[in-house]
Amino acid sequence: MSHKFETTRRVPHSAGQMFDLVADMKSYPEFVPLCSDIKVHSVRERNGKTLCISDMTVAYKMIRETLTTQVLLKPDEHRIEVSYLEGPFRFLENTWTFTPVDEGSCDVHFFIEYEFKNRALGMLMGSMFDYAFRRFSTAFEQRADKIYGRDEGGVPSASPVA
């Protein structure tokens, strides 16, 4: 059984800022739900795009799984495409699209669809993954607020907050 989640959220940060934040995979263990470790194995740049191969380890209580993905960063399009290579899933597709609204805000579109290889693992971890993936957009928005700042009125600060 496949699981799918899709959302679009307007955030008070630019498309470039949000793209950079999601593209910074090495920081994920600091704030992404269930992400305990990430290793980027290769990075290749070509025609303004960057292709990365990475392992993300997700952990919850006694369960640890590592998935290998190919991440295609398309900064000119404000788009990130994640393709599944290896791990506990039968398949996983994930895209992020950042659409500028004005100079200081954008719409963040997050899509993910996946299915576990093993039905028992899916039953055991399915609700946990559903919960985590549904929290991804919020986690990145909160991270952006922390990195880029927001004033008390909800408007991004002129300078990043340390």
Question: How high is the pLDDT of residue 21?
Answer: 96
3-148, CATH topology level: Alpha-D-Glucose-1,6-Bisphosphate; Chain A, domain 4 (3.30.530)
Question: How high is the pLDDT of residue 155?
Answer: 46
pLDDT at 158 over 70: no
Is residue 58 exposed (0-12), middle (13-18) or buried (19+ Cβ within 10 Å)? buried
**162 confidence band (pLDDT: 50, 70, 90):** very low
The string of DSSP letters for 81-114 reads: EEEEEESSEEEEEEEEEEEEEETTEEEEEEEEEE
Question: How high is the pLDDT of residue 143?
Answer: 94
> Do residues 82 and 56 touch, judged by C-beta distance below 8 A?
no
Question: How high is the pLDDT of residue 126?
Answer: 67
The more confident residue out of 142 and 156 is 142
pLDDT at 20 over 80: yes
> Do residues 2 and 146 touch, judged by C-beta distance below 8 A?
no
pLDDT tens, position by position, 60-115: 777 788 999 999 999 999 999 999 999 988 999 999 999 999 989 999 999 999 88
From residue 96, alpha-carbon distances to 51, 111, 113, 124, 152 in Å are 15, 7, 12, 27, 28
From residue 160, alpha-carbon distances to 16, 61, 145, 156 in Å are 14, 34, 9, 9
Instruction: Give domain limits for the chain.
Output: 3-148
Question: How high is the pLDDT of residue 151?
Answer: 46
Enumerate residues 6+ apart whose C-beta is below 8 A from 47.
none
